[in-house]
Amino acid sequence: MDGRAQLARVTVAEVLHHGWPVVDLRSPNEHAEDSLPGARNVPLFDDVERALVGTLWKQVSQAAAFDEAARIVRARIRGLVSEVEALGGT
């Protein structure tokens, strides 16, 4: 073992059966388009930010997109964690 935590593999059916909280980190439009039943949307990026990161990826570089994405997430990480904790996902 390499010291990394091991996660149990579960099926979607098991998650739904147990009523475990499902957190969808995709943008609101992506979540609205398709999501698991009962999944709560706690987006890493709003729709405009997602478009910006995608445009940087395609038109500038992967590094520029990653840097912008990291900047956005760093600015809101505490709020994201609080939202997930409020859902019971501690």
Domain spans of the chain, in order of start? 12-86
pLDDT at 59: 98
Average pLDDT over every residue of 71-79: 95
Bridge-partner residues for 40, per DSSP?
A: 23
pLDDT above 70 covers a percentage of the chain that reads: 94
| Residue 76 confidence (pLDDT) | 93
| pLDDT higher than 90, residue 75 | yes
pLDDT score recorded for residue 20: 83
Q: Which fold has domain 12-86?
A: Oxidized Rhodanese; domain 1 (3.40.250)
